[in-house]
Structures are given as C-alpha cells and as structure tokens.
C-alpha cells in the first residue's frame, strides 16, 4: 500500500463482495489514481472462494470471510460484523456484487453511508432475486431499448434506496446476455468510483427519496 492510500485524513471504507470483484478493483484503482478520495480498509465477503479476495490481495487489502450460517444466531452474526467494521475503523461501505442482505442494524448505524451498484436502471429490473445474469436476461426478454447502471444508497429493502447516479446503456437487438453484461459492466467501473467519491467527499444530501448533489464541504 502506498503512503497516499494510507493517509489518516481519508475516509475509510469497506467493500462487500461475493463474486469476482471487478467493481472492487475499479474502486481500488480509483483510490490508487487519486480520483476516489478514500482508503479501502478491508474487503468483506461471504464466500471463501470469491475472486475478490485475490484481487484484494494484489492491492494489499485484507479480506475477511464472514458468513451468517457460521453463527448460532443472527444477533451474534451482527455483533461480529459490527466488531469487524469497528476494528478497521470503517466509516463507509460499498456493496459490489454482495449477495447477502445487509442486517438492518448495520443499515441504521451506517445510514446513508452504504452504497450499492445495480446493473440496470432502477426502479426497473431490480428487487429480490434480480442480480447477475438474471438482470440482463430480464432486460433482453422485456425488449427495452435502454438499460444502464444505478448507484444508490442502501436502505432496508433490495434496490430501493435513494439514487446517487445513473447512466444509460443501449440495448441492441442482436445482444446476447454476455455482450450486454460486458457493455454494462464497463460503465459500472466508471460510475461506481464517481458515485462513491461524491459520498465520501460529503457532496450529497438526502431529501426524502432524492439525493441532491452539491459542491461539498468547503
Ligand atoms: C455487478 O454487475 C454489480 O452491478 C452487481 O454485481 C455485479 C458484481 O460484479 N451488483 P463484480 O464482482 O464486481 O465483477
């Protein structure tokens, strides 16, 4: 880790991911190149074999596996998760392909400090069970001309929190799921660091279900 990444004045964040972690890498790259003003203190995953762990190691970022089923109760799981986040002094959480629901106690404690990225234009093609390829399959099946990327704040439901940024992506008649997923993912990698930077630089304010983007703390 470079000194610049480890600056004490930087917002400390955790990235939660269950899969390959390409969005984690986009965030870590943005930290490294100075466009995301934060430090990624840790990666949290629910899968020992998640690809994100290898990517995290390449950035010298610790990854911790924590799975609800390894605990006797939800309360013990939540307590351990809190303890972990506290021990790494985490202030912000970015979900990047994390498939477990975030316990409501964590959502409340980190109110408006947890982001999620979704590979479609919410509120379309979101909600429980709508993740990964299923999103793109549904988009193609529906025949919409545009899909896109949404970054939103996390509330206690799936994919319903206030929207920070969105960007449309065209859908072509000849698209396969893989082609569409790749086109969307490319935009995800650009949009997620931008949206997280707005949050950690305290440039967003939440008004009801709307996010207002302002000039930031001066
Ligand atoms: C991305 O498509 C993201 O939008 C969704 O899960 C996928 C994660 O991909 N929430 P990756 O692990 O970051 O490559």
Q: Which atom of ligand 1 is nearest to the CA of 135?
A: 2
Distance 218 CA to ligand 1 centre (A): 33
Which residue has a Cα nearest atom 6 of ligand 1? Answer: 97
Confidence of residue 9 (pLDDT cuts 50, 70, 90): confident
pLDDT confidence of residue 19: 97
- Across the range 77-94, mean pLDDT stands at 98
**Ligand 1 lined by 136 (C-beta under 6 Å):** no
CA geometry: angle 179, 190, 144, nearest 5 deg: 40
Strands (E), 7-108: 11-16, 38-45, 63-65, 92-95
Confidence of residue 216 (pLDDT cuts 50, 70, 90): low
What is the tens place of the pLDDT at every residue in 185-196? 999 999 999 999
For 22-41, letters b (16+ CB in 10 Å) and e give bbbbbbbebbeeeebebbbb
Taking CA atoms only, the protein residue closest to ligand 1 atom 10 is 97
Atom of ligand 1 nearest to the CA of 97: 6
Query: Whose Cα sits closest to atom 9 in ligand 1?
Result: 97
pLDDT of res. 215: 86
pLDDT of residue 134: 97
Whether residue 29 has pLDDT greater than 60: yes
Average pLDDT value for residue range 79-91:
98
Q: pLDDT digits over 120-179, tens only? A: 999 999 999 999 999 999 999 999 999 999 999 999 999 999 999 999 999 999 999 999
pLDDT at 8: 66
Closest protein CA for atom 1 of ligand 1: 97
Quick count: other Cβ atoms within 10 Å of Cβ 65? 14
**Which segments of 33-176 does DSSP mark as H helices, in order?**
52-58, 74-87, 104-109, 133-142
17 Cα nearest atom in ligand 1: 12
Please tell me the distance from the alpha carbon of residue 59 to that of residue 6, in angstroms, as a whole number: 12
Q: Determine what percent of the chain falls in helix, strand and coil, rounding each to the nearest 5.
A: 35, 25, 45
| Active-site hit among 118, 136, 142, 189 | 118
Q: How far apart are CA 112 and CA 168, in angstroms?
A: 24
Task: Return the minimum-mean-pLDDT range out of 61-65, 82-86, 154-158.
Answer: 154-158
For residues 104-112, give the mean pLDDT: 97
Helices (H), 88-149: 104-109, 133-142
For residue 146, report the phi and psi dihedrals to the nearest 5 degrees. Answer: -130, 140
pLDDT of 79: 97
CB-ligand 1 contact for 117 (6 Å cutoff): yes
Share of the chain above pLDDT 70, in %: 95
Quick: pLDDT tens for 40-57.
999 999 999 999 999 999
Q: Of all helices (H) and strands (E), which one includes residue 166?
A: strand 163-170
39 Cα: distance to centroid of ligand 1 (angstroms): 20
The predicted pLDDT at position 182 comes to 98
Residues of the chain with pLDDT > 90: what percent? 94
Q: Is the CB of 119 under 6 A from ligand 1?
A: yes
| Nearest alpha carbon, ligand 1 atom 14 | 22
């Amino acid at each position: 880790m470079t000194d610049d990444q480890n600056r004490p004045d930087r917002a400390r964040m955790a990235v939660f991911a269950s899969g390959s972690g390409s969005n984690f890498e986009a965030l870590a790259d943005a930290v490294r190149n100075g466009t995301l003003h934060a430090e990624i203190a840790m990666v949290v995953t629910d899968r020992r074999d998640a690809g994100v762990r290898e990517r995290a190691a390449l950035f010298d970022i610790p990854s911790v596996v924590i799975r609800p089923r390894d605990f006797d109760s939800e309360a013990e799981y939540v307590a351990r998760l809190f303890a972990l986040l506290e021990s790494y002094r985490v202030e912000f959480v970015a979900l990047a392909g994390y498939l477990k629901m975030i316990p409501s106690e964590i959502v409340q404690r980190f109110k408006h400090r947890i982001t999620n990225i979704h590979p479609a234009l919410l509120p379309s093609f979101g909600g429980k069970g709508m993740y990964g390829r299923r999103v793109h399959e549904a988009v193609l099946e529906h025949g919409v001309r545009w899909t896109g990327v949404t970054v939103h704040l996390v509330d206690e439901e799936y994919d319903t929190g206030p929207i920070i940024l969105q960007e449309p992506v065209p859908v072509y008649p000849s698209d396969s799921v893989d082609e569409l997923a790749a086109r969307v993912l490319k935009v995800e990698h650009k949009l997620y660091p931008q949206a997280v930077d707005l949050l950690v630089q305290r440039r967003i304010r939440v008004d009801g279900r709307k996010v207002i983007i302002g000039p930031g703390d001066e």
